[in-house]
Structure 1
Amino acid sequence: MFHMIKRCICTTATSSGKHNFRKFLLYNKRGTRIFKKLRAAKPELYPDMPIDKRGVRDTGVIHEGRYVEIPAKIPELIVPNLEGCNFKPYVSYRAPDVIQSEFTSQDLFNAVYSQKVIDDFKEGKLSEDGSPIEPSDEEKLTPEEAWVRARKTGSDIF
């Protein structure tokens, strides 16, 4: 019988199921548990082997060989009370896209002050230089007070 030899492409990986473990980063996995405790207690003995904290900051300091917690370094999560809130916790993908132009200073003037200026002009309550004779509470503010008020929580107009 004549056997026909077929050439085919090998679809298996070149490593044949073996893994290169050098590419897996195994932090703080060198040594026994006793060695790790010794290394954590006296890091000056092993300066070539730093303890990787993975970006987490300490909430205290080591003082005279003891770890002392500092309350100011402990993060505080401020979560609002959402009881009675009718909002959903997510936005549907079917929600229409909101396309809004840039909010300019002219838009702000039109939204807040324009009606008062028009009313003062019609009633003749403007002085010769154009300033109001009877200014409102917002018009009496100094620039510093207006700046502080604009940066308060909940001061958004829209």
Structure 2
Amino acid sequence: MFHMLKRCIGTSAAVAGKHNFRKFLLYNKRGTRVFKKLRAANPQLYPDMPIDKRGVRDTGVSRNGQYIEIPEKIPELVVPNLDGCKFKPYVSYRAPDVVQSEFTSQDLFNALYAQKIIDDFSSGKLEEDGSPKESSTEESQTPDEAWTKARKTGSDMF
């Protein structure tokens, strides 16, 4: 009898269902939920099994077995109140480009102090040395107050 030879395409994978599980990174997946709660409550019982935090930083420190929360390490999201805002969150690609020159210290002086100096000069409210007789709130600030006010959130918008 003559047997016919056929070429077949195998439908099973080359590894026949066997996988190398060492290459699959399964973080914090060893054990049941009860075991994980026990491990989280008593990490000194299981020192060989580190808990992977996946890049998340702690918001406190451990001292003498106590976890101390540090308020400065807790992230705070500052979100403005947008009630009554007429702007929409989408900016069209057809919006015109804004071309603006660099904002220099001369521009800042002109925006804040120039008009008051002109008004004081024209009304004769300047001393002989050029200082104003009636100082504004900006002029009466100490250098420390001005430095603090300049670094507050939103101070760069006017």
* TM-score normalised by L of structure 1: 0.61
Q: Residue in 2 aligned with 1:118?
A: 118
Partner of 1:44: 44
Choose 47-56 or 15-24, whichever is displaced more: 15-24
Query: Following the alignment from structure 2 to structure 1, what is the Cα–Cα distance between the partners of residues 21 and 93?
Result: 41
Distance 1:122 1:80, change over 3 A: closer
The alpha-carbon deviation at position 142 of structure 1 amounts to 2.4
**Matched residue, 2:56:** 56
Give RMSD over aligned pairs: 4.0
Structure 1 equivalent of residue 82 of structure 2: 82
Determine the C-alpha separation between the residues in 2 that align with 1:78 and 1:125: 43
Partner secondary structure for residue 140 of structure 2:
coil
Match for residue 149 of structure 1? 149
Any residues of structure 2 matched to 1:11-26 within 5 Å, and which?
A: 22-26=22-26
Letter in 2 for 1:97: D
SS at match of 1:85: coil
| Cα displacement (A) at 1:155 | 4.0
Q: In structure 2, what residue type is equivalent to 1:104?
A: T
Per-residue Cα deviation, 1:98-141 (whole angstroms, up to 9, x for no partner) = 23333221110011111222333344433332222333332222
> Aligned pair in 2 of structure 1 residues 21, 102: CA closer, same or farther (>3 Å)?
farther
Query: Structure 2: 5+ residue runs without aligned partners?
Result: 1-12
Deviation per residue, 1:12-66 (Å, 9 max, x gap) = xxx969976544421012344454344333322322210112233566888999x
Q: Distance in 2 between matches of 1:22 and 1:93?
A: 47
